[in-house]
Amino acid sequence: GENVEQHPSTLSVQEGDSAVIKCTYSDSASNYFPWYKQELGKRPQLIIDIRSNVGEKKDQRIAVTLNKTAKHFSLHITETQPEDSAVYFCAASSDQGAQKLVFGQGTRLTINP
């Protein structure tokens, strides 16, 4: 089955700098890759997603890149702000077979003022 590895587990950056979180997946059939943000004590919320026929997708200060050959994808946050502090999860799924999301272990991002 699918296995998703996420790094780093914790990340601390200065306000205004960029943050990058990386994930690798094992199943070459995976074709959907969402990212979720979970603030303390709250539910995970979808912030951006990408499908396998696209190499990059941007939404204001966040972007996701996908390298299908290497089977890895990354979340990029630019001009970080204190409200970006949260735990971020990547996930992978295929629209064939089981069609279930498999999550990475999460990255705790802290933005230092």
Partner 1 sequence: DGGITQSPKYLFRKEGQNVTLSCEQNLNHDAMYWYRQDPGQGLRLIYYSQIVNDFQKGDIAEGYSVSREKKESFPLTVTSAQKNPTAFYLCASSPGTGGVFRLAAFFGQGTRLTVV
Question: Is residue 29 a contact point for partner 1 (CB under 8 A)?
Answer: no
Question: Is residue 103 a contact point for partner 1 (CB under 8 A)?
Answer: yes
Phi and psi (nearest 5°) for 21? -120, 135
Contacting partner 1 (CB under 8 A), which of 27, 31, 47, 72? 31
Distance CA 86, CA 107 (A): 8
Contacting partner 1 (CB under 8 A), which of 32, 47, 71, 76? 32
DSSP three-state, residue 64 = strand
Question: Is residue 93 a contact point for partner 1 (CB under 8 A)?
Answer: yes
4, β-bridge pairs:
25
Contacting partner 1 (CB under 8 A), which of 40, 43, 60, 113? 43
Q: Which is nearer to partner 1, 61 or 98 (CB)?
A: 98
Strand spans (E) along the chain: 4-7, 10-14, 19-25, 32-38, 45-51, 56-59, 62-67, 72-77, 86-92, 102-103, 107-112
Question: Is residue 56 a contact point for partner 1 (CB under 8 A)?
Answer: no
Nearest Cα residue to 65 out of 14, 112, 20, 9: 20
Question: Is residue 101 a contact point for partner 1 (CB under 8 A)?
Answer: yes
- Binding stretches for partner 1 (CB under 8 A): 6, 31-32, 34, 36, 42-46, 49, 51-52, 89, 91, 93, 95, 98-106
